[in-house]
Structure formats: structure tokens, C-alpha cells
Amino acid sequence: MPVSDYQLIEAWKEVLALSRLEPGQSVTILTSPATHPQTLSCALIATQSMGAIVNRLDLPPVNGEKAFSRDSLAYLGTTPLTGNGPAIAALKASDLVLDLMTLLFSPEQHDILKSGTKILLAVEPPEVLARMVPTQADRTRVLGAAERISAAREMRVSSPAGTSLVCPLGEFGPTAEYGFVDEPGRWDHWPSGFALTYPNDRTAHGTIVIDRGDILLPQKRYVSEPIVLTVQGGYATKIEGGVDAALLRDYMETFNDPEGYAISHIGWGLQPRARWSTLGLYDREATIGMDARAFEGNFLFSLGPNNEGGGSRTTTCHIDIPLRHCTVLLDDDVVVRDGRVIESTH
């Protein structure tokens, strides 16, 4: 159901206030042909109404001839900022960048963040943004989960479907995504609500069973029959099953890159306003699937790069897979039991 401009402007103002936007600060809104027009128009009004100096930087798309999907996360190659010195300079000179284009997993994004610029990604449909406006409570909960990750040296994941995964930790720190950018140099994604990290490079091992009803992204489809991943030395070495497994294998082969099979980020969803079932209500090209990534109690793992977490692995292939009904342990601390979040008692 559509959201009124008034509602979306108010939502933007809430997020901008949480992001500590002050009068006189500079905001650059980064856009592309895929940017939602209502999201853009309401962001322009909200930022100006709060006294910001507002610019819009519109850049042409890239990678369209290489990607096998229109999803902005389906092909992580070069970005419109690659080699674009004037655009990078404008973004570095901004206090806040509203990314309505998608710069994820790019060296240019890291470079901009190092300058102290804050970047907030917002590319979901307006009604999804309005439903999942972040709160301080989201921040507190996600940061608490990140602290538990930081203290652990191993994540173990199991499920009734047969998942039995061991991920040694400590090489990379935790990442907390709670939906707003309240510190210089911070990146976040509205909407979100999860904590994650990356396993020590080339160490994850075990079996992952993607069961019926679990979700593949960017395919944006519910799995209809189990897919079994064998994980050895930090990589998925086998993808077995029926048609769903064959489709996943074929898609990953299009990248012709063994690094695409590496276990990337691992963590769990903490957003109670996100729902597992929402993906089934949307056209496949209308959303990037943040409900699926963030719904409370999922075990979210990915295949592909780890450079967002501080690693050196880059690849154009990135697949996010949220699983239901898992039990997740950090050392001996149960953080998710059978798909339900277990809050810390400390």
C-alpha cells in the first residue's frame, strides 16, 4: 500500500535526527536511474527542512551488460564512482551521503568513509522504509549482539534440517547494522537490524542445509527443496540437491570466480518489524529483500567477499541466504535457539 509524501518525509526526518544531522551541514544525495522518485523527493524536502545544504549527484549505471539480474547487489564490480575523481571529492566533502544508488562492497565507499563522511544506504520501497524506521532501541539491541560476537572465538550453527557449521572467529571484528549513522565515518542501511561478522579466513567448515522456505538472495525466492552445501577450508566445495541446487550452481558459475564460493559474513536477524513472509508479497524487482535479511531469529550467512569487514577478498559474486529454525552459539553462549533470539543475561 502506498505511503504518503508526508509520512515518508517524517520518516526521513526521524532517521536524519537519529543520524545527528545539524543545520548547516552538507548532504549529498547519490542517485541513479533506478532510484525511487518518491524516496528522492522526500529526502530532498526532509534534508532542506532540517537546515542542511543539499546537493544531488546523479550517476549513470554500470555493469548492466555483465549482471544476470537487475538487483543492485547481484554484481559487485566497478561502480559509477570508479575512476570518478570529481564525484568522490564531492562525497568526501559532504557531512552525510544518502546513498539511493548502492555503493556496497566498493573501495570508493571505504575511501569516502575514511574521510569522516557518513553514508546511509536506502533503496527499499517507500512503504518498507516507513514500516522499519529505526529506533534507539534497535541500536541498543544490535550493539549488544555485536559485543557478544566480539567476545567470542567461535560461532557454531545447527538446525533440524542438518546444518552443522563451525566458524572460528577473531580475525575480523563485528558489524552492527541498526539503520542510521550517528558517528563520523559510519555506514549503515535503512532498513536493517542485525549483527554480523566474518569467519577467520579459510577456516569455516561443516555442512549448511538450506531448507524448504529458506531464502536465496538476489534470486529472491523461497527454496522448494533442500540444498546442501559442504564447507571446507572456508569455501562451499559442493552444492548438492535438486533443481534449486542446480539453479544456484548455474548462477554462481556465471561469475567464473572461485572466491564467490567463500563463506562471507555470518550473523543473525534482530528486527521484529521485518517478516520472513514479506518477500512473497512483492514483485521480484521491487525490493532487494531487507525483510528477508533482517527478520528476527534468522541465521544470515553469505557467500563472496569479505572486504567490507576488513578482509582482502573481493569478488563480483555475493549471495545472502537467511535460514530459519537454526540454533546459533557463540562459544557456549546461545544467541539464537530454534530461530528465536536469546537475549543476553549479563
Domain CATH code at residue 35: 3.40.50.2300
CA distance 37 to 31: 10
Quick one: 25 and 109 in the same domain? yes
Quick one: 281 and 189 in the same domain? yes
Quick one: 142 and 126 in the same domain? no
Q: How confident is the model at residue 346, as a pLDDT?
A: 63
Quick one: 105 and 12 in the same domain? yes
Checking if the pLDDT of 217 tops 80, the result is yes
242-273 pLDDT tens trace: 999 999 999 999 999 999 999 999 999 999 99
Residue with grid cell 543545520, as numbered in its chain: 23
Q: What is the mean pLDDT of residues 38-44?
A: 98
Question: Strands (DSSP E) along 198-318, which ranges?
Answer: 205-210, 215-216, 221-222, 227-232, 235-241, 263-269, 299-303
The answer to whether the beta carbons of residues 72 and 288 sit under 8 Å apart is yes
Query: What are the distances in angstroms from CA 197 to CA 73, 266, 298?
Result: 19, 6, 15
Q: What is the mean pLDDT of residues 305-322?
A: 90
Quick one: 149 and 227 in the same domain? yes
Q: What percent of the chain has pLDDT over 70?
A: 99
Domain residues for the domain of 9 are: 5-131
Residue 346 lies in a domain: no
Residue 231 lies in a domain: yes
59-93 pLDDT tens trace: 998 877 877 777 777 667 678 898 999 999 999 99
Quick one: 211 and 257 in the same domain? yes
Single-letter amino acid, residue 197:
T
Chosen domain end from 131, 146, 181: 131
Quick one: 117 and 141 in the same domain? no
Which residues on neighbouring strands pair with residue 55, listed in sequence order?
A: 28
Residue with grid cell 534482530, as numbered in its chain: 270
Quick one: 105 and 238 in the same domain? no
pTM assigned to the model: 0.95
124-142 pLDDT tens trace: 999 999 999 999 999 999 9
Average pLDDT, the chain: 95
144-181 pLDDT tens trace: 999 999 999 999 999 999 999 999 999 999 999 999 99
Quick one: 226 and 334 in the same domain? yes
The answer to whether the beta carbons of residues 293 and 323 sit under 8 Å apart is no
Chosen domain end from 108, 131, 154: 131
Q: Which three cell numbers stand for residue 257?
A: 570466480
CA distance 248 to 245: 5
Q: Which three cell numbers stand for residue 305?
A: 567477499
Chosen domain end from 105, 131, 157: 131
Domain count, the chain: 2
